[in-house]
């Protein structure tokens, strides 16, 4: 990190003098690092200007998910959801981040029942009463990224599936409640896992959350099967997703060999996922996209 004079403008672009802005923060970070903590680099600390841009991106992401919520139901195909997401994003000036991301062919991920994540929308996939589906929307707006997903129950679903969907949401909220500045991120993932296990479920280990904002996927990689006191410190200005994948049966998963994307549970039992994008603050966390 380059040396900044105490009276120079702060690196965060606030316009304040460094000594009145991030000097104490940088000193604390350096102290924690000397104590052996894994600390985020400055590129992971969002500036006020970046946070504003990401909030604007998230407004679109939230509006698109609201649109899906208002129109989804039995008889809708996942390809229709893809069209909605594409059109609602573009009409608001955004770009759907999944489209062409590492070759992903559509503008949204739609994951039905035993599909864990990264399901590809299809004209042949018709939603029917009793299905549960995750719709994962990600938006680029003026270079800023937002990412969140919700579950939808199609018509009347079984009590078992409904409970999975509800508990998975609670897992995510447990994660949110355990975002505490200057604490290791493993504490957050541990709380998510504990809530799932308490309810008789398992949590996918191989796929997790991620830093987000200036890129689709930034550091840190975020596990929801983690031990307390492990992983990177959560520091004010960091942004990441809380997006646990919770399985009704075992935690084993596999990726479809034909399409290279669709992830399913090995035992074909249902899986659920909710995702929020959060900003670490001085007091805890603020939800940026949901
Ligand atoms: N939205 C997913 C996430 O939460 C990423 C999907 S990558 C894609 O990280 F290419 F499948 F869209
Ligand atoms: Co994500």
Q: How far apart are CA 26 and CA 279, in angstroms?
A: 18
Q: What is the pLDDT of residues 30-83, one digit of tens each?
A: 999 999 999 999 999 999 999 999 999 999 999 999 999 999 999 999 999 999
- Cα 21 to averaged position of ligand 1 atoms, centre (Å): 35
Residue nearest atom 9 of ligand 1, based on CA coordinates: 209
- Cα 123 to averaged position of ligand 1 atoms, centre (Å): 20
* Tokens 């990401």 found at: 54
DSSP for 166-222 reads: HHHHHHHHHHHHT--TTEEHHHHHHHHHHHHHHTT-EE-SS--EEE-SSSSSEEEEE
Share of the chain above pLDDT 70, in %: 99
Question: With b meaning 16 or more CB within 10 Å and e meaning fewer, what string describes 198-218?
Answer: eeebbbbeebbbbbbbbebbb
Question: With b meaning 16 or more CB within 10 Å and e meaning fewer, what string describes 159-195?
Answer: eebebbbebbbbbbbbbbebbebebbbbbbbbbbbeb
Q: What is the pLDDT of residues 148-169, one digit of tens each?
A: 999 999 999 999 999 999 999 9
Residue nearest atom 11 of ligand 1, based on CA coordinates: 118
| Band of residue 3 on the pLDDT scale cut at 50, 70, 90 | confident
Q: How far apart are CA 152 and CA 135, in angstroms?
A: 8
Mean pLDDT of 206-233: 98
Give the mean pLDDT of the chain. Answer: 98
Q: What is the pLDDT of residues 166-197, one digit of tens each?
A: 999 999 999 999 999 999 999 999 999 999 99
Q: How far apart are CA 249 and CA 257, in angstroms?
A: 22
Full-model pTM: 0.97
Taking the CA atoms of 120, 121, 127 and 131 in sequence, report the sign of the dihedral they define.
positive
Return the ligand number nearest the Cα of 108: 1
Question: Could you identify the atom of ligand 1 that is nearest to the CA of residue 108?
Answer: 12
Q: What are phi and psi of 71, to 5 degrees?
A: -120, -15
pLDDT at 279 over 90: yes
Task: Give the burial class of 5: count Cβ atoms within 10 A of its Cβ; 0-12 exposed, 13-18 middle, 19 or more buried.
Answer: exposed
Pocket probe mutation, ligand 1, options 99, 104, 118, max atoms within 8 Å of Cβ = 118
* 244, 224 Cβ separation under 8 angstroms: yes
DSSP H helices, the chain, are: 23-34, 48-71, 78-91, 159-177, 185-198
Return the ligand number nearest the Cα of 136: 1
Comparing CA positions, the residue from 62, 38, 100 lying closest to residue 238 is: 38
pLDDT at 2 over 80: no
Pocket probe mutation, ligand 1, options 109, 151, 207, max atoms within 8 Å of Cβ = 109
Question: Could you identify the atom of ligand 1 that is nearest to the CA of residue 241?
Answer: 4
Comparing CA positions, the residue from 180, 181, 209 lying closest to residue 193 is: 209
Residue nearest atom 12 of ligand 1, based on CA coordinates: 98
Ligand 1 neighbours, Cβ below 6 Å, are: 98, 101-102, 104, 109, 118, 136, 138, 147, 210, 241, 243, 275
- Cα 1 to averaged position of ligand 2 atoms, centre (Å): 29
Return the ligand number nearest the Cα of 118: 1
N residues, the chain: 290
Share of the chain above pLDDT 90, in %: 99
Strand 263-265 and strand 218-222: the pairing is: unpaired
Mean pLDDT of 248-262: 98
Residue nearest atom 7 of ligand 1, based on CA coordinates: 98
> Which pLDDT belongs to residue 1?
61
Q: How far apart are CA 78 and CA 121, in angstroms?
A: 5
Question: Could you identify the atom of ligand 1 that is nearest to the CA of residue 217?
Answer: 9
């Amino acid at each position: 990190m380059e040396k900044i004079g105490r009276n120079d403008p702060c690196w965060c672009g606030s316009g304040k003098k460094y000594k009145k802005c991030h000097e104490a923060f940088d000193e604390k970070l350096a102290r924690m690092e000397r104590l052996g903590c894994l600390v985020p680099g400055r590129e992971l600390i969002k500036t006020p200007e970046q946070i504003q841009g990401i909030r604007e991106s998230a407004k679109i992401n939230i509006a698109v998910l609201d649109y899906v919520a208002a129109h989804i139901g039995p008889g809708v195909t996942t390809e229709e959801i893809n069209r909605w997401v594409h059109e609602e994003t573009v009409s608001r000036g955004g770009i759907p981040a999944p489209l062409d991301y590492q070759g992903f062919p559509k503008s949204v991920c739609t994951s039905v029942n035993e599909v864990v994540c990264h399901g590809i929308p299809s004209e042949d996939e018709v939603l029917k009463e009793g299905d549960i589906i995750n719709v994962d929307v990600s938006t680029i707006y003026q270079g800023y990224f937002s990412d969140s997903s919700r579950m939808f129950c199609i018509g009347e679903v079984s009590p078992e599936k409904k409970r999975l969907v509800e508990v998975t949401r609670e897992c995510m909220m447990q994660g949110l409640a355990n975002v505490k500045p200057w604490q290791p991120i493993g504490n957050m993932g541990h709380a998510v896992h504990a809530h799932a296990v308490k309810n008789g479920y398992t949590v996918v280990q191989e796929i997790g959350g991620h830093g987000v904002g200036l890129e689709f996927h930034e550091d840190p990689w975020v596990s929801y099967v983690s031990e307390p006191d492990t992983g990177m410190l959560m520091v004010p200005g960091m942004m990441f997703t809380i997006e646990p994948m919770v399985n009704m049966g075992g935690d084993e998963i596999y990726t479809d060999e034909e399409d290279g994307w669709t992830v399913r549970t090995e035992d074909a039992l249902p899986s659920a996922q909710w995702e929020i994008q959060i900003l670490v603050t001085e007091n805890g966390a603020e939800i940026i996209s949901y």
